[in-house]
Chain A
Amino acid sequence: MIRLIAGSGEAAAFGLVFALEELGAPFVLEPIDLRRFVQWSPQHRALSTDGNPVVLDMDGQTMDRPLLALLYLAETKPESRLLPDDPTHRYAVQATIAQFDHALGGGIRYLGWLATVTQRQRDDYAARLNMRNDRPVLAGWSAVWRDAVSEEQRADDARAKVRHGIEQVAALLSNRRWLIGDEFTVADIATFALLRQLPRIGFDLVEPDGSALSAWFQRVGGRPSAQLASARIAEVGLGDVFDPPIYV
């Protein structure tokens, strides 16, 4: 049995639901309540030792890195062609997913957290997180950068990354129907899952009607699997909040 455990309808969960629907794989979507910190419960941490909110459970094999799980799903059904055979295109899919998740996704997640959670909820979350003995701590260059800027600068930077990310997606689509190669791939799924959140953080979804980006967004969103994914997410009540950041 395939189970997908998720605490919100944000990109990480939506992308996996979208892919599972695209593959026609029967699965159970199990919501967890992030406001009750279920992701840190012993039961959930038996599935994800780090307490990551999104977990794909494939007959007992658990995967708590959603983008890697997306690649896994595509590789279990190569006939779906969600991951191209051609090594150049395969590289491009992986690189595109990684680059967009880092900059565009990082910006969206940060702004989404600020936009959908009250200050009191953020403080409560930080306090609870600090009580954990194994609290994850930011280190490396990310910590150096975080310590060097104010929260306001960080939000400005996130907005700049989102704007730049949208431009990059638009540039990729300027002369093609799908992001990579000639076929719909998991790069389209992952990128669509990010961009569908833009209205909730105060960005115009896409350029004016008629642009290549707008047409692509309609094309991807119009797939039956995308519509089923939206319905599944709504049906179990996911989608009101963004997953909390790992670090505060």
Chain B
Amino acid sequence: MTIDSQSADKPHVHTWDPNSNSGKPLFVLMEKGVDFEYHYVDIIQFEHHAPEYLAINPAGTVPTLVHRGRTLTESTPMCEYIDAVFPGQSLSPSDPSLRYAMRLWCQRTDIAAESLSVIGWHTSIGPMVRSKTPEEMERLIARIPTEERRISWRHASQQSFTEEQLAQARIKVGSYLRDLDRGLQKTGWLVGNRISLVDLIAFANFYSQPLSNPDACREEDVPHFIDWLRRIYARPATRRTFALARSLGRRGLEVSRMLGVGAESVRP
């Protein structure tokens, strides 16, 4: 698909599951009620490094948003763009101090998500891609645009994370979840007194923690975090977003049930 063919007013999102960076624009578009085209990019099959995808986003990262002939590839500013150009409830505070606070939480979330990604690769994505032969894997890795990411993916695909790397990643995630819990204590939302972009961005990254990291998610330890998860899971837009899942994002439905958020809580 070429960029020219996507220059209509309808946004086109090229991304993987509603999970981590891939999920950020999906949750925001759904929350805003925007009609969009979803182009599934299967990162387990390394489709984000295939020539046809690199033609749209030469960096080979997901997500990519194409709208009115423009291509957007930075996931967090992309969410601010979606919020600004499409009608619907604003998901960004207008006060500059609160906007600083929102972006600060986004930055903290992105840093913690880097550790979460390593754990996710170790437990979930790595085993999925390891069914490929070493030759096929090397061919796929060779298409990755930067040396830094080639080295990291090679490690990930060979399951060669050290115990220390995994331990430090777990510490970072645990520390972030406790910060998140404290951050939610006052109003139940991360910034201001209603849902904002950063709630959706943090949720896109950490929605599955009760399932994948139960020790860090005991309700008595992080009650505000668990309550926040329940409230976001109960939103109709969240359930519509998880309905798009084909891979890891399916965990969202499972966690939703674990937290006792059933379909009955969904308003039409």
Chain A contacts to B: CB under 8 angstroms: 61, 63, 65, 68-69, 71-72, 75-76, 87-88, 90-91, 94-95, 98-99, 137-145, 147-149, 157, 160
Kindly identify which residue among A140, A145, A149 contacts B117, using a CB–CB cutoff of 8 Å: A140
* Residues A68 and B168 in contact, CB atoms below 8 Å apart: no
A165 to B5, CA, bound (A): 30
A99 neighbours in B (Cβ, 8 Å)? 74
Q: Known A144-B118, A147-B165; judge A91-B81 contact (CB<8 A).
A: yes
Question: 1/0 contact trace for B144-179 toward A, CB 8 Å?
Answer: 000110011001100001100100110110000000
Q: Known A65-B104, A88-B81, A90-B84; judge A142-B114 contact (CB<8 A).
A: yes
5 nearest interchain CB pairs? Answer: A140-B114, A94-B77, A87-B84, A139-B168, A95-B74
B198 → A minimal CB distance (Å): 12
Does B97 sit within 8 A of A, measured CB to CB? yes
A94 to B99, CA, bound (A): 13
* Residues A65 and B107 in contact, CB atoms below 8 Å apart: yes
Does B1 sit within 8 A of A, measured CB to CB? no
* Residues B103 and A145 in contact, CB atoms below 8 Å apart: no
Does B36 sit within 8 A of A, measured CB to CB? no
Kindly identify which residue among A76, A143, A148 contacts B168, using a CB–CB cutoff of 8 Å: A143
* Residues B77 and A140 in contact, CB atoms below 8 Å apart: no
Does B43 sit within 8 A of A, measured CB to CB? no
A208 to B107, CA, bound (A): 37
Residue of B100, B152, B161 contacting most chain A CB atoms (<10 Å)? B100
Residue of A142, A144, A147 contacting most chain B CB atoms (<10 Å)? A144
A94 to B73, CA, bound (A): 11
* Residues B155 and A75 in contact, CB atoms below 8 Å apart: no
Interface residues of chain A: helix, strand, loop or mixed (majority): helix
B147 neighbours in A (Cβ, 8 Å)? 157, 160
Does B208 sit within 8 A of A, measured CB to CB? no
A144 neighbours in B (Cβ, 8 Å)? 118, 151-152, 155-156, 161, 165
A137 to B175, CA, bound (A): 12
B129 → A minimal CB distance (Å): 16
In this complex, what residue of B is CB-closest to A94? B77
A95 to B74, CA, bound (A): 6
A155 to B162, CA, bound (A): 23
* Sample of 16 A–B contacts (CB below 8 Å): A71-B100, A72-B97, A90-B80, A91-B80, A95-B72, A140-B115, A140-B169, A140-B172, A141-B118, A141-B152, A143-B165, A143-B168, A144-B118, A144-B152, A149-B151, A157-B148
Does B244 sit within 8 A of A, measured CB to CB? no
A75 to B85, CA, bound (A): 18
A72 neighbours in B (Cβ, 8 Å)? 96-97, 99-100
In this complex, what residue of B is CB-closest to A99? B74
Give the residues from 101 to 116 in chain B that come closer than 8 angstroms, CB to CB, to chain A.
103-104, 107, 111, 114-116
Q: Known A87-B85, A139-B171, A144-B165; judge A68-B103 contact (CB<8 A).
A: yes
B107 neighbours in A (Cβ, 8 Å)? 65, 68
B240 neighbours in A (Cβ, 8 Å)? none
A98 to B21, CA, bound (A): 15
A142 to B149, CA, bound (A): 10
* Residues A91 and B96 in contact, CB atoms below 8 Å apart: no
With contacts A139-B118, A139-B171 known, what are 14 further pairs, Cβ within 8 A?
A65-B104, A87-B85, A91-B77, A95-B73, A98-B76, A137-B168, A137-B171, A137-B172, A139-B114, A139-B168, A139-B172, A142-B114, A144-B161, A144-B165
Q: Known A99-B74, A140-B115; judge A94-B80 contact (CB<8 A).
A: yes
Does B78 sit within 8 A of A, measured CB to CB? yes
A72 to B171, CA, bound (A): 31
Q: Known A139-B171, A144-B118; judge A91-B72 contact (CB<8 A).
A: yes
